[in-house]
Structure 1
């Protein structure tokens, strides 16, 4: 199977009954994801933790606790909250660095490990096995519930859940669209090259295009024109669906970088495109600031 991160993640496996002992991941692994391939050390961005409180937290959920990475300005409360949603590779160093970048901008950024019941992505060296054995088995309902629990944790620990945003990459980009329709408190979302259309199944009954008219906050979609897995036709279809919704849906917009492919923001991988990544990051901050800091 190709190592492309554009693989369709659909699965026909039914949701599993969960208990506390079903949590496979109980703490976050260090470093970068092995399955993502060698790290391009010359380009990987490294954000320090000066002036921040950072580290692993435990988010209580109904059947146990989910590990998560939190970064926030030290000594401050009432912070706007941004959920950071992982790629297929889990909450590895790249996602943690994104959290620190957001914290440097005045946000409480939290990235929960959303595969914690299904498997440990840090143990995989092959993308195909990671997708088939872990990613495809993660129910959307579980993800949305864990994100609700993460927002509740933030509200009790210095965050302002009334100023809530979300951003995510690849697998997480799709979740941005779904969660923005799910939680009425979401004020803004930024979806980086998340899938927009696909087949429904018991674990993934809804795709972003199905909830395009139901967004609670506007979403900025950042996509690559050379992304073989997310076509311009699907983006155009999503735009047409958004136009039929209320203000939040109609205010959503796309920026497509013609020369960029999938994962162009992933600065530790060969897919990184500096110009598109930097422009997208600037737009993402402006988008979040407008809704969460005004």
Structure 2
């Protein structure tokens, strides 16, 4: 795993594909905690499943090597970074990652977790040269329901997520009935093995659904 510089002026992690299968390029959009050990592990896992992976350092303009811990201070730091990161800039950074992968790949995907789940939605709506997207528990997706994805996207939510009540998920479903929404018996962050809500069986199911979407789009 190394660092590359994106055309929009921020760095990104890059993990080349390994293993037998080659699936294309993939952008991994971080949680509010930055490019921490969890995101690095996810990049390595996706690379093991055949993706060239790019994870943009979206908060690098706020603080070089931005990392926020998994505690109340870290949450406050991450939320402040979210507030100080305009969505138009997020779109440009994501497009820069797509453009980088597009130099060597015709099939490019995006996935994201928590704040990154919303990044995946916004990318599916605004960016070009994407193939498909998979968004995990993106609470802020509800801010962008007036926008329509240009590419297939699946969304993943936990049914006991205290930050995203099912009423919010229902709003997404009502606004975009064509978008598959998967609801799991789990809380927020069920995909991350670093958090209290980690649900390994549900995470594995969501992983397989994401790979299936990417393979068949």
TM-score by length of 1: 0.67
Q: 1:210 matched to which residue of 2?
A: 146
Deviations 1:219-248 (A, max 9, x none): 1111100001112111112112113xxxxx
Deviations 1:159-216 (A, max 9, x none): 31x3121100000001111110102322211111111555xxxxxxxx23121xx211
Please show how residues 232-271 of structure 1 align to structure 2 within 5 Å.
232-243=166-177, 250=178, 252-258=179-185, 260-271=186-197
Q: 1:13 matched to which residue of 2?
A: none
Confirm or deny: 8 A CA contact 2:33 2:78 kept in the other structure. Answer: no
Q: Is 1:122 matched up with 2:67?
A: yes
Please show how residues 129-148 of structure 1 align to structure 2 within 5 Å.
129-148=76-95
Distance in 2, matches of 1:93 and 1:109, equals 15
TM-score by length of 2: 0.89
Distance in 2, matches of 1:266 and 1:175, equals 17
Specify the structure having the higher radius of gyration (Cα). 1
Confirm or deny: 8 A CA contact 1:88 1:135 kept in the other structure. Answer: yes
Distance in 1, matches of 2:138 and 2:76, equals 21
Distance in 2, matches of 1:148 and 1:123, equals 25
Instruction: Give unpaired runs (5+ residues) of structure 1.
Output: 1-53, 199-206, 244-249
Confirm or deny: 8 A CA contact 1:176 1:191 kept in the other structure. Answer: yes
Q: CA deviation at 1:129?
A: 3.4
Please show how residues 36-115 of structure 1 align to structure 2 within 5 Å.
54-61=1-8, 65-73=9-17, 80-115=24-59
RMSD of equivalent CA atoms: 2.2
SS in structure 2 at match of 1:60: coil
Q: How many residues align?
A: 213
Please identify which structure carries the higher helix content: 2
Change in 2 beyond 3 A, CA 1:101/1:132: closer
Higher relative contact order by CA 8 Å / sep ≥ 6: 1 or 2?
Answer: 1
Distance in 2, matches of 1:192 and 1:279, equals 13
Q: Is 1:282 matched up with 2:176?
A: no
Q: 1:11 matched to which residue of 2?
A: none
